[in-house]
Structure 1
Amino acid sequence: MKLRNRKRAGALADDAGEGDIVLSAHDISVSFADKLILDRLSLDIRRGEILGFVGASGAGKSVLLRT
């Protein structure tokens, strides 16, 4: 799989340049009762990246976005 970063047409300019980290999360763990949903998840999202969360039902996609 090959990924490319592209700027959207008409994107607003600001202080953060292409490739700068705009969201960073480290060591996120979430559990409900005795079930571990997310186990020490870490990620950095950089300006210009397009990101998708893919997984089975119950894998923790919505939990991550709500956390």
Structure 2
Amino acid sequence: NFFNSIFNGQKAPQNPWKSNTLEWTTPVEHIHGNWYGSIPEVHRWPYDYSNPAFEEDFVPQTVPLGPDEEEH
């Protein structure tokens, strides 16, 4: 099963665990330097889960702050 999964298994999505941190914003293809172009800008804490202002349970660090949100 292990080897079958490696060679014939489905590809994982970009962020299967719905993590907020920057390592999940890198492209799936392995490249030198992790990101194409410039490094993403961070606007939030890495553990911004269950934010009532958002429909999703997680908010990635790259999402800019809204007008009613305060910077930490």
- TM-score, normalising length: structure 1: 0.23
Which of the pair is proportionally richer in helix? 2
